[in-house]
Every structure is written in C-alpha cells, then in structure tokens.
Amino acid sequence: MQSRRIGDVTVGAIGLGGMPMSIEGRPDEERSIRTIHAALDAGITLIDTADAYHVGADEVGHNESLIARALATYGGDTSSVLVATKGGHLRPGDGSWTVNGSPDYLRQACEASLKRLGVEAIGLYQYHRPDPQVDYADAIGALRDLLDAGKIRMAGISNADPGQIRQAQEILGGRLVSVQNQFSPAFLSSEPELRLCDELGIAFLPWSPLGGISKAAELGGHADRFAAVAERHGVSPQRVCLAWHLDKSPVVVPIPGASRPETIRDSAEASELKLTADDLAELGI
C-alpha cells in the first residue's frame, strides 16, 4: 500500500473508520474483529474511532474497546498502527448526538479513552465537533494541555472550518496534524478546508468518503460515472471513489467505514489504482 504522513507518523494511504462496527445496525463482535484484522492484513495502519461510537448510554467507548481487543488478538505486529480517537461528541442513548467541548470534559474523556485503548498515550486525539456553548480556543487549549502532559502524541480537529483550522494551529503552536471533515463526491463543501490543509501540510481525513453508510452503495448520486470508470478498470465503483480522493492531494487519507472483511479489503486496494486524466474528466468532480 502507498503511504502518507500524519504529523511525524507514516500510515497507509487508506484508513479504516470504525463507526459502523459500533452504532445502530452493527454486526456481531466476531465479524467486526475479523474486519479489523483484514484491514491490518491489507496494510492499513490508521484506525479511526471515537468514544461516541456506541448505541446505549451505558456503553460509551464501545468502538475503542472493540479496537483494543482486535489489536490484542491480532497475530502480527501492530507497533506501526496509529489509533486515532475523538472526544467532545456524546450519545445520550436515545439515538441523538450532543456535544460537550468544555476543557474539563475533554480531559476526562481523554483519560477514559486511554484506559479503554490500554495505552499510555493516545496516538492521535481529535476534538470531535465544536460546541457552540464553549469558546473554541478553550477547547483547543485542552488539547494543547494534553499534548504538553504527554497524554496524547498528536492533536487533530474534526468538523472544522478554515478559521478554526488556523486558530487551532496557532493555539497548538504549529502542532495541529490533522483535520477530519465530511467529504465525498456528494459532499464537496469541505473543499476549502482540504485546500487549506494542503497548503499547511496538515493531513485531511475525509469521513464518509463513500457518501455514508446508507449511500455508499450508490455513491450519493454519482453512481453511473463511477460505475463506468470502474468497469474500465475492472474494479468496484467504491475503489474508484477512494482513488479519486487520493488524487485530490497528497495530504488526503480517506477513512472509509467498514463492517465486513471483504469491504475493507476492496477499499485498501484503492491505493494502487491509478486514475487517468480521462477517468477524472469523466467523473467531472
């Protein structure tokens, strides 16, 4: 697999998003662990999770714990695997999503994630979603403090706009390494953030790069174009979509969600798919 950089860490060009293995409609644990192991076998070394990836209010951190078990039971070397988690988003258990960006909460959330992941320092910790009730500078200041204390090795932000990216970079003293925003052929509104990350040399991690759990099969209305290019290459439209992401910029590291081994194996192959100028022109995005 091709490699890309997040801060001073080299990762595979395709990552794994853990959310589908822990929210509504999730598979049994055995299949999820096989999915994570398949990702590792395929050369994926970035696994993205969050403490909010769960269903019931009594199972906060379900996905973090699942990933920790998968890594512990993997037969190969996992020393190069970067686990990225997030704090600041919550699920009360009624299907809704809420936010809490207070510095005290983020510090508590980080400590809990450390325990669930079973590590001394989290590889990449990301502020999950801005809290309109908390000054953004205060929330990012909590990440700075966690960095300085050695609780996290790298800091990132998610669901941020260009102003917040620049503000976080300043508060973190130039140590912002990643931005995780929604981005896909059907959701292009984060293009300014992607371009800013490219300019600053910060990794851009598109979430829902295939259009989301319910739309990945159709690629959000662009299916015909992706299917045509895929047919020429003899691959899946989803693989074409991830290759399109990689072509956008060398700072892009897509994190497609998966809950089946065959799905993440197919996604991993995208790093080796070379799209031609004609392919990109036909996709038209």
Instruction: pLDDT tens for the chain, 285 residues: list them.
Output: 999 999 999 999 999 999 999 999 999 999 999 999 999 999 999 999 999 999 999 999 999 999 999 999 999 999 999 999 999 999 998 989 999 999 999 999 999 999 999 999 999 999 999 999 999 999 999 999 999 999 999 999 999 999 999 999 999 999 999 999 999 998 999 999 999 999 999 999 999 999 877 676 677 567 789 999 999 999 999 999 999 999 999 999 999 999 999 999 999 999 999 999 999 999 988
**What is the rounded distance in angstroms from the CA atom of residue 204 to the CA atom of residue 194?**
6
Between the alpha carbon of residue 59 and those of residues 27, 52, 89, 165, the distances in Å are 16, 9, 14, 31
User: What is the rounded distance in angstroms from the CA atom of residue 121 to the CA atom of residue 111?
Assistant: 10
Note the pLDDT of residue 248. Answer: 96
Q: How far apart are CA 120 and CA 131, in angstroms?
A: 27
Known catalytic residues? Answer: 53
pTM: 0.95
What pLDDT shows up at residue 116? 98
Residue 213 has a pLDDT of: 72
Non-local (6+) Cβ contacts of 47 within 8 A are 15, 16, 18, 36, 39, 67, 81, 82, 83, 84
Helix axes 103-117, 62-73, angle to 10 degrees: 30
Long-range Cβ contact pairs of 162-167 (< 8 A, separation 24 or more) = 162/192, 162/193, 162/196, 164/130, 164/136, 165/193, 165/196, 165/197, 165/200, 165/202, 166/196, 167/136, 167/137, 167/140
- Given a contact cutoff of 8 angstroms between Cβ atoms, the answer to whether 259 and 20 are in contact is yes
